[in-house]
Structure 1
Amino acid sequence: MTTLWDTTGTAVVKELAAQRRTGGAVVAGVALTMVIVADEGRVAEAEDAAATAAEQHPFRLLVVVRRQVESAIPRLDAEVIIGGRLGPCEAVVMRMYGRLGLHAESVVLPLLAADAPVVTWWHDRPPRRLATDALGVIADRRITDISLAPDPHDALRVRADDYAPGDTDLSWTRGTPWRATLTTTLDSVAGRRGEPVRILGGRVEGDPGNATAALLAGWLISRCGCGIDVVKSERRPGASGVDQVVLQLDENEEVRVQADRRGGAVVIQPYRPDTRVALRDRPLGDLLGEELRRLDPDEPYSEALGAATRTTGLAERSPVRQHIWVDPAQPDALPVDPESPDEELRQSPRDAGAANR
């Protein structure tokens, strides 16, 4: 690891190239560039998650920490790491002071891995409109985490209003074991009957204020075309915010999947003995690794988000974002309206290329 104090973007690029020449055996190639935007208090957690995800998907890691944006003197401190504490990846951790943080893309763009997709993850409260952060505009995939918002329901609505294909959220990823278990269970019922199962209604029991519970209900609504309520559970739900899912089927049958406190769940279905399945809460690194398995638009997420917020047409929106300049030093300033011809917009060169593909 090399630490560069009060440095420049050019010096960081040169140091990374020098480290790659000497440590190339550690990282022979990268599949993508992971850009993490994190608050100082969450950097260690983000690095641990990135190290876990890098074991599955070798990438170049660029961590951006914006500090003291109001400072009059811009400054860049950087750590260049090949292997080491971050595992099998090459990384640059950048702490940007002053107004340099408002132009973080000027330092990040020269560090992107050549001909590799870009994923931006906000391990903090993301902007209400991702296009106001240029690090989101240059990304092919954008990952947020509604669980970090003070009001998850409001954040869910914000993400639906601002959605563009390529967006996803870790609250959605936390529900993957529930979706897999429900799909397998219903497939087994259909196999026994020899005909498709028709779901007439149901409920998700857990924390009604939890985004994962809302997205799980939205996914069921989008798949089943019937009403699915989110109700408060009498028991304390796990980290996913879901305690139990109950589905009413035709022919007066009911399927119930109930979490236990041993990292699993009990599946109760008609005409079969109760069975236990694994349904553990996964660490942050595993969630991040799952999101990096696919970089195309996550259509099931957009359908679930649309159903949960009663928003239509999410998948038909343009995946190309245009940068909207907002100066945080002017708290009363409103974001530029992309539809207004009188406002100046800056389109990312990467987006311009994507539009031509």
Structure 2
Amino acid sequence: MIVDLANTTTSKVSRRIISLREQGGVIALGRVLTLVVVTKSGLEEEAIEAANLASCEHPCRIIVLADAGAVAPTRLDAQIRVGGDAGASEVIVLRGYGELAAESESLVAALLLPDAPIVVWWPHGAPDNACQTSIGRIAHRRITDSANEADPQRALANIRRTYQAGDTDLAWTRLTNWRIQLAAVLDQAGGSPITAVTVEGACDSPSTILLAAWLHRALNAPVTIVADPAGTGIRGVRLSRASGDIQLSRPGLTVAELTQPGQPTQRVSLPRRTLQACLAEELRRLDPDEVFGETVRSLGTATDHPDSPVIVTGSAGPGRDRDRSSLITV
């Protein structure tokens, strides 16, 4: 069921939700949190679809603040989605015009679930300082997606500069399966220690940079990022040691190959994660992600220290080296 309310107020929206519950009991109860999605009008549907699917695991109230244009006359249009149009949640879409186009705590205050945690997600257009925005200040978790920004590396550097406990980024969440596989390999690997690490991935992928930073912190070994300008996402990781290299590579989109000395090549399921899966993982935990915090704060040492332990090169192919200064290093 979809109910449209033109030129309305949040108090009227709240009363209409109560009326819908009294009439049909179609609103999911037992909700565990309020998810506030801050985006632009026209870009909200993908985020709503992912949030609806994630709500099957985490029943919640979804409030979407869609910037419909600051130059238009000030007004607020709303849409309430319940039942089959809202997964296991209820969706409230607020399209603000004029002075109501900017995100504001006052727009959502009357619609927040009482005594429930608040998570805010910027699928596009991450703010300069998520923790200091009007809604970010009242949120328990703040989710951005640097991969969706016009300059992903600059967005990642901005997160490093402004990081506060409770901040996270979906570029990190996309690494969960990579980190699980690499941690399992390292737990089982015997012999000599890791002396160097090579990470190959897209040259503009913040996930590549975060994985390199995490491996450097975990192994205390120098890391080289082989930036592939023709690819997308992470292609592979090589762990170098005197007793033989360990390599985890993903030539396609779903299956990776694990190569270790003295063992046959293993095929490992390592599919690219969907937006829904990443969002569901972040909604699963409401405490600060300390590992992400430590990793993202470690970025940028190449600009702070000339002898950085992480080096960024061009593609492994000849004639495709890139200027190191054009890339974020860690």
The TM-score range, normalised by the shorter chain, is: 0.7 to 0.9
Q: Which moved more, 1:298-307 or 1:100-109?
A: 100-109
Residue 57 (structure 2) pairs with residue 56 (structure 1): yes
Q: Which moved more, 1:253-262 or 1:215-224?
A: 253-262
SS in 2 for 1:289: helix
User: 1:287 corresponds to which residue?
Assistant: 278
State whether residues 39 and 123 of structure 1, in contact with CA within 8 Å, keep that contact through their aligned partners in structure 2.
no
Residue 256 (structure 2) pairs with residue 265 (structure 1): yes
Report deviation, 1:25. 5.4
SS in 2 for 1:123: coil
Question: Which structure 2 residues correspond to residues 209-248 of structure 1 after superposition, within 5 A?
Answer: 209-233=204-228, 236-238=230-232, 241-248=233-240
Report deviation, 1:19. 1.9
SS in 1 for 2:157: helix
Mapped to 2, the partners of 1:111 and 1:287 lie a distance apart of 25
SS in 2 for 1:199: coil
State whether residues 198 and 238 of structure 2, in contact with CA within 8 Å, keep that contact through their aligned partners in structure 1.
yes
Deviations 1:66-85 (A, max 9, x none): 122133x3211111122222
Alignment partner of 1:297 out of 288, 293, 301: 288
Aligned AA for 1:213?
T
State whether residues 244 and 257 of structure 1, in contact with CA within 8 Å, keep that contact through their aligned partners in structure 2.
yes
Report deviation, 1:132. 4.9
Deviations 1:273-324 (A, max 9, x none): 110111111221111011111111101111221223339xxxxxxxxxxxxx
Mapped to 2, the partners of 1:81 and 1:45 lie a distance apart of 15
State whether residues 38 and 103 of structure 2, in contact with CA within 8 Å, keep that contact through their aligned partners in structure 1.
no
Mapped to 2, the partners of 1:38 and 1:53 lie a distance apart of 18
Question: Which structure 2 residues correspond to residues 1-357 of structure 1 after superposition, within 5 A?
Answer: 1-24=2-25, 26-71=27-72, 73-102=73-102, 104-190=104-190, 198-233=193-228, 236-238=230-232, 241-249=233-241, 251-261=242-252, 263-310=254-301
Deviations 1:25-71 (A, max 9, x none): 55121010000011123111111111111111111000000122133
Report deviation, 1:103. 5.7
Structure 1 residues 172, 6: CA separation in 2 closer, same or farther (over 3 Å shift)?
same
Mapped to 1, the partners of 2:196 and 2:113 lie a distance apart of 48
Aligned AA for 2:204?
G
Mapped to 2, the partners of 1:119 and 1:26 lie a distance apart of 20
State whether residues 217 and 308 of structure 1, in contact with CA within 8 Å, keep that contact through their aligned partners in structure 2.
no
For these two proteins, the number of residue pairs brought into alignment is 301
User: 2:316 corresponds to which residue?
Assistant: none
Q: Which runs of 4+ in 1 moved over 6 A?
A: none
TM-score, length of structure 1 as denominator length: 0.80
SS in 2 for 1:46: helix
Mapped to 2, the partners of 1:12 and 1:262 lie a distance apart of 43
Structure 2 gaps, min length 5 = 303-330
Mapped to 1, the partners of 2:200 and 2:263 lie a distance apart of 23
Mapped to 2, the partners of 1:222 and 1:131 lie a distance apart of 25
Mapped to 1, the partners of 2:195 and 2:204 lie a distance apart of 24
Aligned AA for 1:218?
A
State whether residues 20 and 26 of structure 2, in contact with CA within 8 Å, keep that contact through their aligned partners in structure 1.
no
Mapped to 1, the partners of 2:225 and 2:249 lie a distance apart of 15
SS in 2 for 1:266: strand
SS in 2 for 1:80: strand
Mapped to 2, the partners of 1:137 and 1:131 lie a distance apart of 5
Aligned AA for 2:211?
L
TM-score, length of structure 2 as denominator length: 0.86
State whether residues 221 and 307 of structure 1, in contact with CA within 8 Å, keep that contact through their aligned partners in structure 2.
no
Mapped to 2, the partners of 1:280 and 1:271 lie a distance apart of 26
- The RMSD of aligned alpha carbons is 1.8
Mapped to 1, the partners of 2:40 and 2:226 lie a distance apart of 33
